[in-house]
Amino acid sequence: MSFQEEFIFWRLANYFISEHEYRIIQLSKSQKELWLEKMENKEAQVIRILLYNLDWSNWMQRDIRLTLANGESIRKQLHKRSLDVLNIYVTAYPPVDDYEDYIGQPLLHPKGEKTRMTSLICDRQNQVNAIEKVINGSVPIIWKEEYEVHDIEAEKQAALVSARKKVLSEKALFENGKPRFTYLFIAVQIIMFLLMETAGGSTDPSVLIQFGAKSNLFILEGEWWRLFTPIFLHIGILHLLMNTLALYYLGLMVERLFGNGRFLFIYLFAGFFGSLASLLFSQNISAGASGAIFGCFGALLYFGTAYPKLFFRTMGMNILVIIAINLAFGFSMSGIDNAGHIGGLMGGFLAASMVHLPKQKRTVVQISTFLASAALIFGLFQYSYLNKGKLIDEQSALVLVQVYVEKEEYDKAYAFLQEYENPNTSTVNILFLLSYIEIKTNRMDEAKEHLHQVISMDTNYHEAFYNLSLIYLNESNYNQAKEYAKEALALQPRNKDYNQLIQKINELESAALES
């Protein structure tokens, strides 16, 4: 083996590493066998280069079978459906006996035929011609009669330094910050859970509201801080444990990837965006870090757009599968705020796009994303204000109105119910409460209209019959008053107020006739 073959070996290594961005899988101790990989390459995802004097073809046959088996092992380790291997022998001369049947033609692994390998010989006669045909490219080599040791060493160092630089540059992407906020958020959500448990239980709606859970009603009444506080609250110990575990793994990864300040912005913005999506698409009270955690997924997806090759080589498919499973689980199970999850995913992607990665800039993309996000948030806020009635659940609306009524703030109660009331969807409880406030504010015609709607929707709503009777009595319409009072009494025969009302109507009617 002369210096020429050794030089060719390292020249090929340097060519594939430096110009085609292959990565070193393994270099033997003797430094005469090199395995490279580049999963994005369609023609040859794995290349094996061997520096060896091929004397007899039977040795080469055994080596080809062994190399093909190694290729199959690599395919399984990488979970690839198929794998193409290029096997290159660098030798002074080809085997002395017949060998052509094993060279130049793809060979399939017998188990499943998922690994395919093409073997080539690079010798002094053919040089790199066969390789150039397979890779559809030119391997630049300055041919000499003799190569010196320093020629080989220079080519070798160029290949190894280039490979090391790639490894270090990729490693540096994942080391942009020592995690701090991840641990802080974990501590905060555990402390908040303990405080809620001591205050009455984290599953108690009143406790959740007290501590800042997402409530459409209170948000639309001006408590916009509730779009952030749910990030740190959890409903039940299982909810806390699952989100804490997810935050620990995802948070650490994203914080190392984007750095502390960027991670803080991504996490809070994603949580906010998840709460905003939940406000628009779910009327239920909700809490949890799920939206912010999905935002971490969104940030990783953005990383995938910036470094698609590295993303899919390291974690891409795993991330996509986990997101798909979580979203499918959310759609198939009741009680899961999938709107918050999807909103958080979008928010994390947008936030990551705004801040980008450390020490890098995409000024146009960052500014465009910021402006688009601001416009989107403004539009969603406007929509929420214009559609209050659709975004608030009936129970929350009734609770708020009852509070206004107890404080005798009838104008506030009436203004709120007018926004909430919808002729097509309003329930009897909302309409009845609206009529009650209209009576208190001397809007008798509107009250009568709403009470008639109530009894047409629910013929057993005795309170509506009673109030209608009172209105007609106030108008001295004794026949109508008596009719509705009797309807109320028929539904509630033991109600003393209804009996007394009928007696009063009879007395007033008699007095009117006598006069």
Residue 462 falls in the annotated catalytic set: no
Q: Minimal CA–CA distance to 233: which of 188, 182, 174, 264?
A: 188
Quick one: tokens of 25?
């899988």
CB contact set of 171 (below 8 Å; sequence gap of 6+): none
The CA distance from 364 to 3, in Å, is: 52
Catalytic pick from 109, 234, 239, 341? 341
Q: What residues contact 244, with CB distance under 8 A and at least 6 apart?
A: 186, 189, 190
Beginning with the edge strand found earlier in the chain, give each strand of the sheet holding 46-51 in spatial order.
23-27, 33-37, 46-51, 83-90, 115-122, 107-108
Long-range contacts of 132-138 (CB under 8 A, 24+ apart): 134/43, 134/44, 134/86, 135/43, 135/44, 135/86, 136/43
Q: Which residues contact residue 301 at a Cβ distance below 8 angstroms, ignoring those fewer than 6 apart?
A: 319, 323, 345, 348, 349
Rounded Cα distance between 465 and 487, Å, is 6
Decide if 431 contacts 443 (C-beta within 8 A).
Answer: no
202, 215, 275, 290: which is the annotated catalytic residue? 290
Task: Tell me the C-alpha distance between 166 and 428, whole Å.
Answer: 69
Within 221-259, residue ranges assigned H as helices are 237-258
The answer to whether residue 119 is catalytic is no
The DSSP secondary-structure symbol of 159 reads H
For the residues of 41-110, what is the DSSP string, one character each?
-SS-SEEEEEE-----HHHHHHHHHHHHHHHHHHHHHTT-S-EEEEEEEE-SS--SS--GGGSSS-EE-T
Residue pair 258/353 in contact (Cβ under 8 Å)? The answer is no
CA distance 395 to 243: 28
Q: Which amino acid is at 136?
A: N
Q: Which residues does the annotation mark as catalytic?
A: 290, 341
